[in-house]
């Protein structure tokens, strides 16, 4: 379906960018996403897998720099343009789009340091990479800590509760020991990671630090790629650290600024997942609309039934709701500093929930065909189920958002830059 866009301010340049991203999503992302979905997690990352074709093509076209600042080699897109492009990629396949969302995270974070050496050493080579040989990930979750990073309740400051990954200063280096969980997106294919670790145990989880770690250093090892029901085209897996030594400059955030930095990164990730869900919801709706026009029962296309039209309209409304919210939140939170987390939380939880409803309704509208692997809708249904958990279980994010609005809402305009 050729979409009318509710936003009348989009320029010809915006629309061209969106069309280009749509063509890439249709010709490359969608078919490869479906192929990789059918492979085992090991097969998906084996040499010759279509996953590598996707990564190479995406890097050749510069999609890995989608969220990177222009001054360091990024595409220089406005938040609105990032939104338009990322929605299209997720429309093609949410797992592959998530790789694009994850790969840049350590390098975007390195830009925040404004440290010329880090930028020269890490950011510029990443932006210039065109063969997919530099892949990033962000590793927060640990076997013993998932929601703990988000819940932000009293235990965040409890010295008895600590990150598994420990960092110890030794001269000009930091020494890392511990493990990140199997949920790390792009974890087993990444060459670099943004790691969240424990620096000051006396402060509990609030005493954390954030560093960049190249994964070719001695002592880094990876687990097996994770098998799961949804987002099978998104590689995920554990990473282990055994006396891994990084230069001191790679630890760019220490406990004094850790809670704020954690909130900033989570707010950016949650806002982005809002866009991804919009793309998935739109894909499910379009599949349902096409099928309703084609499927004949009782001598007429099922779209002739008033109740079917009503169901389609309800799906359409949910897609547009996702779009409006996710766009508004990206425009806000990619323009202000620091981002305002309650809006990112609203976008993530509402868009993933509505997307899940739309995917479920699409399966129902396609009848038995909706359950088969011949169609695309059952994949979206599985993918969108995962999104209710990824980047934070929705109910935990809602509780966190509730704490914010109970305590600090409304914000004062003068506090926002």
Rounded to whole angstroms, the Cα distance separating 135 from 202 reads 34
Which of 53, 393, 398, 403 contacts ligand FAD by CB under 6 A? 393
| C-beta closer to ligand FAD: residue 185 or 344 | 185
Closer by beta carbon to ligand FAD, 125 or else 402? 402
Beta strands 166-170; 220-225: pairing state: unpaired
Stretch of residues binding ligand FAD (CB under 6 A), selected from 80-88, 182-190, 218-226, 288-296: 182-190
Is 146 a residue that touches ligand FAD (CB under 6 A)? Answer: yes
Give yes or no for residue 362 binding ligand FAD (CB under 6 A). Answer: no
- Within positions 396 to 415, which residues make up the interface with ligand FAD, using CB under 6 A? 396
| C-beta closer to ligand FAD: residue 131 or 153 | 153
Among the candidate windows 287-295, 300-308, 345-353, 383-391, which touches ligand FAD by CB under 6 A? Answer: 383-391
Among 18, 126, 386, 400, binds ligand FAD (CB under 6 A): 386
Number of chain positions touching ligand FAD (CB under 6 A):
20
The separation between CA 401 and the C-alpha centre of its own chain, rounded to angstroms, equals 19
Quick one: which of 37, 286, 287, 391 contacts ligand FAD (CB under 6 A)? 391
Q: Closer to ligand FAD at the Cβ: 350 or 365?
A: 350
Q: Specify whether the backbone of 74 is left (phi greater than 0), alpha (psi in -120 to 50) or beta.
A: beta
101 binds ligand FAD (CB under 6 A): no
Distance of CA 107 to the CA centre of its chain: 15
Question: Is residue 345 a contact point for ligand FAD (CB under 6 A)?
Answer: no
**Interface pick for ligand FAD out of 72, 138, 215, 252 (rule CB under 6 A):** 138
184 binds ligand FAD (CB under 6 A): yes
Q: Scanning residues 105 to 134, which ones bind ligand FAD (CB under 6 A)?
A: none
**How far, in Å, are 4, 81, 323 from residue 13 at the CA level?**
16, 9, 19
In whole angstroms, how close is the CB of 237 to ligand FAD at the nearest point? 10
The binder of ligand FAD chosen from 17, 104, 151, 194 (CB under 6 A)? 151
Q: By CB under 6 A, which span of 166-174, 325-333, 388-396, 402-410 interacts with ligand FAD? A: 388-396
Least distance between ligand FAD and beta carbon 100 (Å): 13
Name, in order, each residue with C-beta under 8 angstroms of 114's C-beta and a sequence gap of 6 or more: none
222 - beta bridge partners? 239
Q: Candidates 4-12, 60-68, 119-127, 145-153 — which segment interacts with ligand FAD by CB under 6 A?
A: 145-153
- Binds ligand FAD (CB under 6 A): choice among 50, 106, 276, 390: 390
| Residue number closest to ligand FAD, CB atom | 146
35, 53, 78, 147: residue in contact with ligand FAD (rule CB under 6 A): 147
Q: How far is the CB of 103 from ligand FAD (least distance, A)?
A: 10
Q: Tokens 């868009």 belong to which residue?
A: 351
Binding to ligand FAD in span 214-233, by CB under 6 A = 231
Kindly tell me which residue out of 51, 85, 127, 139 binds ligand FAD, with binding defined by CB under 6 A.
Answer: 139
Residues that bind ligand FAD (CB under 6 A): 102, 138-141, 146-147, 151, 183-185, 231, 386, 389-393, 395-396
């Amino acid at each position: 379906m050729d979409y009318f866009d509710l936003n009348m301010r989009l320029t010809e340049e915006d629309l061209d960018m969106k069309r280009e991203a749509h063509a890439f999503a249709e010709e490359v992302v969608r078919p490869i996403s479906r192929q990789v979905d059918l492979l085992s997690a090991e097969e998906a990352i084996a040499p010759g897998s279509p996953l590598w074709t996707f990564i190479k093509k995406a890097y050749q076209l510069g999609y890995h720099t989608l969220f990177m600042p222009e001054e360091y080699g990024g595409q220089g897109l406005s938040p609105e343009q990032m939104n338009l492009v990322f929605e299209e990629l997720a429309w093609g396949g949410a797992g592959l789009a998530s790789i694009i969302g994850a790969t840049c995270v350590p390098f975007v974070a390195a830009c925040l340091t404004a440290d010329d050496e880090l930028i020269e050493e890490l950011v510029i080579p990443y932006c210039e990479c065109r063969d997919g040989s530099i892949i990033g990930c962000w590793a927060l979750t640990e076997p013993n800590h998932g929601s703990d990073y988000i819940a932000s309740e009293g235990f965040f400051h409890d010295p008895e509760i600590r990150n598994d990954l420990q960092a110890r200063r030794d001269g000009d280096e930091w020494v890392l020991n511990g493990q990140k969980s199997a949920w790390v997106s792009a974890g087993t294919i990444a060459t670099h990671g943004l790691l969240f670790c424990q620096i000051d145990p006396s402060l509990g989880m609030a005493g954390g630090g954030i560093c960049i770690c190249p994964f070719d250093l001695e002592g880094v090892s990876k687990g097996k790629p994770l098998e799961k029901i949804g987002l099978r085209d998104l590689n995920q897996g554990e990473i282990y650290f055994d006396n891994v030594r990084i230069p001191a400059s790679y630890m760019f955030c220490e406990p004094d600024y850790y809670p704020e930095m954690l909130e900033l990164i989570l707010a950016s990730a949650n806002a982005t997942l809002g866009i991804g869900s919009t793309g998935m919801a739109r894909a499910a709706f379009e599949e349902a609309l096409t099928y309703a026009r084609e499927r004949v029962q009782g001598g007429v296309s099922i779209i002739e039934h008033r109740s079917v039209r009503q169901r389609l309209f309800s799906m359409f409304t949910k897609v547009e709701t996702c779009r409006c919210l996710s766009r508004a939140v990206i425009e806000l939170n990619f323009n202000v500093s620091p981002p305002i987390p309650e809006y990112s939380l609203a976008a993530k939880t509402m868009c993933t929930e509505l997307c899940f409803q739309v995917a479920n309704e699409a399966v129902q509208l396609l009848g038995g065909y909706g359950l088969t692997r011949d169609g695309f809708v059952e994949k979206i249904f599985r993918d969108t189920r995962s999104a209710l958990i990824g980047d934070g279980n929705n109910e935990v994010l809602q509780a966190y958002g509730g704490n914010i609005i109970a305590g600090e809402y409304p914000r004062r305009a003068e506090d926002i830059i």
